[in-house]
């Protein structure tokens, strides 16, 4: 039996598999297919201060390389989230990584403060700080593509979240030097990094000769971005190993459909793996990927998941 437990900051999780933010709302629907408490953690849709309806429709388009979305952070707002969604997740015994977002650094801090005050906060194993949504004004560039503003958001959120609850900065692949943003976030207090959010893209309906998406551009997710995610995880892990930034855990996300896909991210340096778009085709994908990854490690003769994290860098 492979020991699949993994460490994320101050927390040890039973296994490294998680949902990706936004692909399974707050868990109720997935729970009809499998027990969400079996996951290392359940990552919720990013929640902001107020309820939001998001961008105009159509908001999803399929492409041969994956899915484009321009949802625009639709959500119930933090108050409804702490009154309904988080207590439900706690009631089924889930380990939760709420994802938070904001239009300003102070909005992020406010959302974190309300979250912390929730009676159900005990189920929270970490907070994912989504500074990289491609579908908001300025396409998220204000935060995720600029070390200074990214650092400001992280520093303010860090002040609101208890020290023993790690915070993870979710980064965009749409940057020239992802290690610079990663280093700035860690210096500002991030205990870990989630890489990557969707890649900014668009597609055009050649019958109507207009963009498919109401919001014109959208975030690309699915198989086409997996190599981008593997590259981002590798580069940041290398920066840590070379002493260019402090070492913190990385959560890898981007186009994972199988245990083999997950293994790529882990070997590149990820201590946990999120499954998103694959769940639309197969709602059991997160637990299936866990099973497949466990089987692969067993086959390869590993005793623990930890041994495999970053193994492709050839340090061992």
The residues binding ligand DOR (CB under 6 A) are 22, 46, 69, 71-73, 130, 133-135, 197-198, 219
Considering the complex, what minimum distance in angstroms separates the CB of residue 190 from ligand DOR?
Answer: 16
State both tokens at 53: 């309806």
* Nearer to ligand DOR among residue 252 and residue 310 (C-beta): 252
Angle at which helix 226-241 crosses helix 259-268, to 10 degrees, equals 30
CA torsion through residues 75, 79, 84, 90, sign = positive
Considering the complex, what minimum distance in angstroms separates the CB of residue 69 from ligand DOR?
Answer: 5
Considering the complex, what minimum distance in angstroms separates the CB of residue 220 from ligand DOR?
Answer: 8
Closest-approach residue to ligand DOR (CB): 219
Round to whole Å and give the CA distance between 116 and 159.
Answer: 11
User: Residue 129: helix, strand or coil by DSSP?
Assistant: strand
Helices and strands: H and E segment counts in the chain: 10, 17
* Nearer to ligand DOR among residue 17 and residue 144 (C-beta): 144
Considering the complex, what minimum distance in angstroms separates the CB of residue 224 from ligand DOR?
Answer: 13
Q: Are 275 and 17 in contact (CB under 8 A)?
A: yes
Catalytic residues: 133
* Nearer to ligand DOR among residue 219 and residue 254 (C-beta): 219
Sequence-distant (6+) residues with CB within 8 A of 131 are 101, 108, 140, 143, 144, 150, 153, 154, 169, 170, 171, 172, 185
Residue 199's DSSP bridge partners are 220
* Nearer to ligand DOR among residue 98 and residue 310 (C-beta): 98
Round to whole Å and give the CA distance between 97 and 200.
Answer: 24
Sequence-distant (6+) residues with CB within 8 A of 29 are 283
Considering the complex, what minimum distance in angstroms separates the CB of residue 132 from ligand DOR?
Answer: 6
* Nearer to ligand DOR among residue 172 and residue 294 (C-beta): 172
């Amino acid at each position: 039996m492979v020991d699949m437990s993994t460490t994320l900051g101050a927390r040890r999780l039973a296994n490294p598999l998680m949902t990706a933010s936004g692909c399974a709302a707050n868990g109720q629907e997935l729970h009809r297919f499998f027990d969400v408490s079996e996951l290392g953690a359940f990552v919720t849709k990013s929640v902001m201060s107020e309820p939001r309806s998001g961008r105009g429709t159509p908001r999803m388009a399929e492409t041969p390389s994956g899915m484009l979305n321009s949802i625009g952070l639709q959500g119930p707002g933090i108050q409804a989230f702490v009154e309904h969604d988080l207590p439900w997740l706690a009631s089924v015994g889930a380990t939760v990584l709420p994802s938070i977002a904001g239009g300003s650094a102070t909005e992020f801090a406010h959302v974190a403060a309300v979250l912390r005050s929730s009676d159900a906060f005990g189920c929270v194993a970490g907070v994912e700080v989504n500074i990289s949504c491609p579908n908001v004004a300025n396409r998220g560039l204000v935060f995720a593509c600029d070390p200074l503003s990214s650092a400001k958001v992280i520093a303010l959120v860090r002040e609101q979240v208890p020290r023993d609850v790690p915070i993870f900065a979710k980064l965009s692949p749409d940057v020239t030097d992802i290690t610079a943003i990663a280093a700035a976030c860690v210096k500002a207090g991030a205990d870990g990094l989630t890489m990557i959010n969707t890649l900014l893209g668009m597609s055009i309906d050649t019958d109507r000769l207009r963009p498919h998406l109401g919001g014109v551009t959208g975030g690309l997710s699915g198989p086409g971005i997996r190599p981008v995610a593997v590259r981002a995880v590798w580069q940041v892990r290398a920066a840590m190993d070379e002493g260019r930034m402090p070492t913190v855990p990385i959560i890898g996300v981007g186009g994972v459909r199988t245990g083999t896909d997950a293994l790529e991210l882990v070997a590149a340096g990820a201590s946990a793996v999120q499954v998103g778009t694959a769940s639309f085709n197969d709602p059991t994908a997160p637990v299936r990927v866990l099973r497949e990854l466990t089987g692969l490690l067993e086959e390869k003769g590993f005793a623990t998941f930890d041994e495999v994290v970053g193994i492709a860098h050839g340090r061992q």
